[in-house]
A and B are shown apart, each in its own frame.
Chain A
Amino acid sequence: AQSVTQLGSHVSVSEGALVLLRCNYSSSVPPYLFWYVQYPNQGLQLLLKYTSAATLVKGINGFEAEFKKSETSFHLTKPSAHMSDAAEYFCAVSDTDKLIFGTGTRLQVFP
């Protein structure tokens, strides 16, 4: 069965600093991988997805993620954090017709 592991339930960065949110996957077949963001009191918004077309995936709001098969990783990065990036971030992997979510990482951004 597919699964994802998000390392670090909380990440704090200063405004303007690099954001790195970690996600490792377990899959017996080439996976489809996703990052979603959940702002306070809102639903989930798709940030980006990997579907085997390109290993470096660019998403909305300046985020990107790189698929590394050798490391079974799909880490999310943003070069410069903004206060508005403060949210919960979820990594997910598709398993047939379902999405399997990680436990989430709460990103705090300090001025």
Chain B
Amino acid sequence: SAVISQKPSRDICQRGTSLTIQCQVDSQVTMMFWYRQQPGQSLTLIATANQGSEATYESGFVIDKFPISRPNLTFSTLTVSNMSPEDSSIYLCSVEPTIREQGLTQYFGPGTRLLVL
């Protein structure tokens, strides 16, 4: 499995501002994913980020609100733009190992806890 770190681990932000969350992996991976976990809820996939291509967004999520960068095989960022209190969530990145394990296994980072006031 991969070791995944996220920065910041938590933040409190004012509405209307933007926050960029970083995800770092200790090995090269092809596929990285960004999820949102709203309070008391399950995980919802925001987008899939593959190196060298544009991120693929799920229904209900748009690039203007959640721009994603994937400059190399070990790093990705997710920006939450023009934040509102409804964006208060845990944001998690996950990776699928490049040597693909059977079952499309994903490994998760510790998450970034965001509170928007």
A interface residue numbers (CB < 8 A to B): 32, 34, 36, 41-46, 49-51, 53, 90, 94, 97-99, 101-104
Contact = CB atoms under 8 A, between A and B. Distances in A.
B31 A34 contact: no
B42 A104 contact: yes
Given A101-B42, A104-B42, A42 B110 contact: yes
A98 B48 CA distance: 9
B48 A42 contact: no
Contacts of B29: none
Interface in B1-24: 1, 4, 6
A45 B94 CA distance: 11
- Going nearest first, the 6 A-B pairs with the smallest beta carbon separation are A32-B103, A51-B103, A44-B108, A43-B110, A51-B102, A43-B108
A44 B42 contact: no
A87 to B, nearest CB: 14
Given A102-B42, A104-B42, A46 B1 contact: yes
Contacts, number: 54
B111 A49 contact: no
Interface of B is mostly: strand
Contacts of A102: 42
B104 interface: yes
Nearest to B50: A97
B63 interface: no
A56 B113 CA distance: 35
9 contacts: A34-B105, A42-B110, A43-B4, A43-B92, A90-B43, A98-B33, A98-B45, A99-B33, A102-B42
Interface in B65-116: 92, 94, 96, 102-111, 113
